[in-house]
Amino acid sequence: MPKLLRSIVLLSPLILTGCGSGAVPEVPGPSASLQADSPVFRDRLIRELARHPHQAPTDTFEMPEIMGSGCSMADLNADGRLDLLVVPGAVSASDAAAGGALLRVLLQQSDGGFADVSVEAALRVRGFGMGCYAADIDNDGDADVLTTSAAGTALFRSEAAADKLQFHDITDSAGLTSSRWSTAAAFVDYDGDGWLDLFVVHYVDYFSGSVCADAAGRRDYCGPQAFSGTADALYHNLGGQGQPGVFENVTVSAGLAAAIGKGLGTICTDLNGDRLPDLYVANDMEPNRLWIQGPLGHFTDEGSLRGCAVDLQGRPQASMGTALADLDHDGLEDLFLTHLRGETNTWYRQLGAGVFLDDTVRSGLAEPSRNDTGFGVAARDLDLDGRMDLVVVNGRVMRAPLLTSPAAGSHWQEYAERRRIFQGSADGRFRPLAANEEFLQQSQVSRGMAAGDIDNDGDIDLLTTSIAAPAQLWENIAPRRGHWLTLRVLDTPRRRDAPGARVVVHTGRNRRTGSVLPHTSYLSGHDPRIHFGLGDSSGYDAIDVYWPDEREGLERFSGGAADRIVELRRGEGRRLKDSELSGGQVQP
């Protein structure tokens, strides 16, 4: 049985199709009384994660070590349960002899526990580990895996057989041989041919062994200013030419060699409303790029024009993590980027099709972030009150003393910072949560973060990584303040999720917008499903899906009850042309 179908069968008690009928799963309803100081997350203390802490030496001061490594939540064996992937750091001599360090792969079991299948999966990272990303590159219903590292990318094709997880390293045969320091990556069907292409973000042109010191002469990690930038790479999947999973490097012909940068994050989706996927790159201490796709697959950088390259004062910032979400609930998705201490995390509010304004100050997000160095980020409704919240994990990159820093007891403690949760509110502003809980009190050199509903109970859990520490799985235990809806957007003919698909959920007069964008945050991969907190709405009227390979029209799925996971299968909804839409209101 194909994996996609198998997953549907296995999930049948919980997953409903877009027709909106069936049983509501057994999940807690809205909480009547919410304690203001209730913790949001608790550490699940996963033994299999604790056994393999991230490896980073303390005496070599190689730059990749301070950039850390990411993680992903993805359903690798198509059993309907999210699994965990955690990127290792340093490659030991014995690992190097074996082809690289093992990516930790933890398969979720039916009882919610995890089985470590890293050795069996044999996903190896060639250099100091950066990110990992799961997607189906050959439309066979299996999740394939890409890893990025300081020594290049590696692509693994899933060859599952008899319920055994197996991957084969196809990097060279896929045409992805490269030793460039790769960081973020995203799978996106940029040319609409039905096959997922690959965009790989590159960081600096790094020279290992470079010595850097702080202003007082103390040895420290080099910063991006010590090296020149590099061009990012776009690889076209040749599946349409009968070679699925073989890629052609089209960087130069697509116009992407026109500018170099020092990229760490990306967002690959249509950002100017013309229904053609665009590529946004978050650069470290250089202007961000917004590569707008024009005709014939040619991209032009319009980041500066569109107000999302630099901050309001015209200064490039040290951009690291990325998120795309409708933070102010106006139907337009906004960009949110994490940055260095002394800068703010930045909210580029979308004013209209593809035009942005740095509106961080008005959102209340500026001052609370000025003292942090933000990396992983997720914009999700954590308490289901219908308003978007933000989670940011932090950790410094320089160890010079701060205006307000406690004395550090160890090498990595000098770089450690606390995580932050910014709670969205009705007035469109965000407030930092000051709850006395472990998630916020723990001080670590945090880097990666993946968000997803690990236990399919309707709220957002987190997987976080920190340098020289074990990854942690955080279960959402916040009191619920409303209803929820989780959408899996399936491009059924291609037997895979549909990265780049945009969804609008209609509830009464409200419209909530979200996109299938697993490959955002920092070096991490979120749950590919879209999660909405619905507040008081116990149901929805309709869901519109804008498929990423269509240039007009949408597919409308009928309404249903909230508090469930719904699969939106392409072709099972009602096709609507642009001319049939009337002011966004759903016509029954």
Partner 1 sequence: MSESGRSREPAVTTTSTHGAHTSSAARSARVRSSLFATLFLAAAISAVIVGRRTALDRSAVPAFAEAGMDRVVRELLSDLRAKVEQRPREADSWGQYGLCLLQHERPRESLACFRRAHTLDPDNPRWPWFSAMILEQTDLAAAADELELALRLAPDALHVQLKLAGTRLSLGDPDAAEELLSTVSLDSAAAAECVLQRARAARLRNAPQDSLKILKQAQQNGTGLSAELFEEAAVAAMQSGQLDLAKSLQHEARQQPPLQPLPDPWLPGLRAYDVSGGADSAAADQLRAQGRLAEAATRLAALARRFPDRSRPALNLALALRDQGQPQRAAEALRELADRFPQDPLVRFHLAVTEVQLGRVDAAMAELTTCLQLKPDYGMARAALADLLATAGQLPEAVTEAERAVTDAPGDIWIHFGLIRLLLATGQADRVRQQLELAAALPAAAGQQERAELEELRRQVAAAAAQGGVE
Distance of closest approach, residue 289 Cβ to partner 1, in angstroms: 13
Region near partner 1 per CB under 8 A, out of 312-320, 417-425, 500-508, 575-583: 312-320
Distance of closest approach, residue 582 Cβ to partner 1, in angstroms: 23
Does 403 sit near partner 1 (CB under 8 A)? yes
| Cβ nearer to partner 1, comparing 207 with 425 | 207
Distance of closest approach, residue 278 Cβ to partner 1, in angstroms: 15
The secondary element (H helix, E strand) that includes residue 65 is helix 63-67
**Number of residues forming the site for partner 1 (CB under 8 A):** 56
Distance of closest approach, residue 253 Cβ to partner 1, in angstroms: 6
| Cβ nearer to partner 1, comparing 5 with 353 | 353
CB burial readout 128-147, b (16+ within 10 A) else e? bbbbbbbbbbbbbbbbbbbb
Distance of closest approach, residue 64 Cβ to partner 1, in angstroms: 13
Q: Cβ contacts of residue 149 below 8 Å, gap of 6+?
A: 64, 100, 125, 126, 127, 128, 129, 130, 181, 182
Nearest to 116 by CA among 88, 152, 157: 88
CA distance 150 to 182: 6
CA distance 391 to 562: 24
Applying CB under 8 A, which of residues 367, 536, 552, 580 lies at the interface with partner 1?
367
Nearest to 180 by CA among 245, 279, 249: 249
| Cβ nearer to partner 1, comparing 56 with 310 | 310
Distance of closest approach, residue 91 Cβ to partner 1, in angstroms: 15
| Cβ nearer to partner 1, comparing 259 with 534 | 259
Interaction mask 333-352, partner 1, x per CB under 8 A: --------xx--------xx
Does 401 sit near partner 1 (CB under 8 A)? yes
Interaction mask 234-263, partner 1, x per CB under 8 A: ---------------x-xxx-xxxxxx---
| Cβ nearer to partner 1, comparing 45 with 305 | 305
Does 509 sit near partner 1 (CB under 8 A)? no
- Give backbone dihedrals phi and psi of 154, rounded to 5 degrees, phi first: -145, 135
Q: What angle do CA 163, 135, 86 make, to 5 degrees?
A: 75
Q: What angle do CA 346, 445, 450 make, to 5 degrees?
A: 65
CA distance 427 to 441: 27
Q: Which of the 8 DSSP states describes residue 221?
A: P
Count Cβ atoms below 10 Å from residue 263 Cβ, excluding itself: 27
Distance of closest approach, residue 187 Cβ to partner 1, in angstroms: 20
Count Cβ atoms below 10 Å from residue 305 Cβ, excluding itself: 13
Cβ pair 19, 25 in contact under 8 A: no
Distance of closest approach, residue 511 Cβ to partner 1, in angstroms: 22
Distance of closest approach, residue 219 Cβ to partner 1, in angstroms: 7
Applying CB under 8 A, which of residues 404, 436, 579, 582 lies at the interface with partner 1?
404
Does 579 sit near partner 1 (CB under 8 A)? no
Alpha helix stretches (DSSP H) within 169-208:
none
Q: What angle do CA 236, 350, 575 make, to 5 degrees?
A: 60
The secondary element (H helix, E strand) that includes residue 361 is helix 360-363
- What are the structure tokens assigned to 513, written together? 């917008």
Alpha helix stretches (DSSP H) within 11-62:
47-50
Applying CB under 8 A, which of residues 13, 23, 50, 207 lies at the interface with partner 1?
207
Distance of closest approach, residue 236 Cβ to partner 1, in angstroms: 14
By residue count, the chain amounts to 588
| Cβ nearer to partner 1, comparing 28 with 342 | 342
Alpha helix stretches (DSSP H) within 70-220:
93-98, 118-121
- Give backbone dihedrals phi and psi of 121, rounded to 5 degrees, phi first: -70, -35
| Cβ nearer to partner 1, comparing 31 with 304 | 304
Does 217 sit near partner 1 (CB under 8 A)? yes
Distance of closest approach, residue 106 Cβ to partner 1, in angstroms: 32
For residue 151, give the amino acid letter.
A
Nearest to 276 by CA among 560, 583, 552, 485: 552
Applying CB under 8 A, which of residues 370, 551, 574, 575 lies at the interface with partner 1?
370
Applying CB under 8 A, which of residues 12, 38, 92, 179 lies at the interface with partner 1?
179
| Cβ nearer to partner 1, comparing 25 with 316 | 316
Applying CB under 8 A, which of residues 146, 154, 366, 490 lies at the interface with partner 1?
366
Residues lying near partner 1 in the complex (CB under 8 A) are found at 151-152, 178-181, 205, 207-211, 213-219, 230-231, 233, 249, 251-253, 255-260, 304-307, 312-314, 341-342, 351-352, 355, 357, 361-362, 366-367, 370-371, 400-404
